[in-house]
Amino acid sequence: MSAQLEQRVDVELPTEPSAVGRRPVVRWAMLVVGLIVTLALPWFVYPPVAMDIAAWALFAISVDLLLGYTGLLSFGHAAFWGTSAYTTGLIAINSGLPFPVAILGGAVVAMLLAVPIGYLSVRRTGIYFAMVTLAFAQMIYFIANQWRSVTGGENGLQGIPKNLGGLTDLVNSDSFYFYYAALPIILIGVFIAWRTVNSPFGRVLVAIRDNPARARALGYDVERYKIMAFVLSAGLAGLAGGVFAVSHGFASLQELIWTTSGKVVLITVLGGIGTLWGPVLGAALVVSLEDQLASSGFNGTGIITGAIFVVIVLAFRHGIWGTARNGINAWLRKRRQGARSD
């Protein structure tokens, strides 16, 4: 029976929109170009800013895994980003373990936290799901604010070390070297997301997004798949939050506040949901813009980013990357139709 269901999924369930009509050669070429740009980024951008772009890109990808591929809008993902940041800091400070191990510990705690939150949240849909996740995130924020003996309260958790065995002095001496030491963690997270959406599991998530009743009729436990996607998304957000905390050397309540959840949703929508490449582009644009405005001494960063967000949403319905992708696909279809007519 299960084999029959798998066969039906392969034939009937919709595939990822970004994969339709895309040749494998083009896909791999884009991956190579993306990797080259990622490796070259700190040569053209201030390394701490490049690290922020990478961390926020993975954070946005984790949100896109829910929003773009499962149809769940979470306004509480700062809970996982911030919880992992604090956990990573506590592990690194108190144990002296290498920071990749501390980051992994933070991601595991974020996933454990996501299990009860996801179990209670996925039974709701639409705006109700978003509000439930927001409520849980605010609870985590309140706990962190009150648990001052552990989190430092409003002062935050300071002095998070960049331990890396024999390379500790090197990564501490220059943020350029830390970027390349932490980058593999980001790339592993991106690979997990890419492998997920291009697997049968990812195709089931897309089917649930498009038609939950039909997926349920095929025999799939919709709630269980949503919980699994939610926990996986929290783990990716945890990896990003841990890298962010180690990069800055502290974790603060800012990582848990609701505006952080709003910012990552903005980044995801700005780049284009359901694309994986879109969140990366959105993170690069938003983080770079904020850095430029902060460097210029301008205090109204939120006004500028908000105005740009409104313009892009109105002008690019599917986000920057999504609109560009759709336009290129439409142009290629016209060319193929013209070649056939000739």
Higher pLDDT, 123 or 297: 123
In a domain, 267, yes or no: no
Q: 97 in a domain, yes or no? A: yes
Whether residue 277 lies inside any domain: the answer is: no
Average pLDDT along the chain: 84
For residue 178, give its domain range: 2-258
pLDDT in tens, 30-71: 788 888 988 998 998 889 999 999 999 999 999 999 998 998
Does 46 fall in a domain?
yes
264 found inside a domain: no
131 pLDDT band (50/70/90 cuts)?
very high
* 218 backbone φψ class: left, alpha, beta (φ>0; ψ -120 to 50): alpha
CA separation (Å) from 327 to 23, 24, 82, 312, 317?
16, 19, 37, 16, 12
Domain count, the chain: 1
Residue 270 lies in a domain: no
Which pLDDT score, from 0 to 100, does residue 339 have? 64
**Is 30 among the domain residues?**
yes
> Would you say residue 288 lies in a domain?
no
- What is the reported pLDDT for 16? 41
For the segment 216-236, what is each residue's pLDDT rounded down to a tens digit?
A: 988 888 999 999 999 999 999
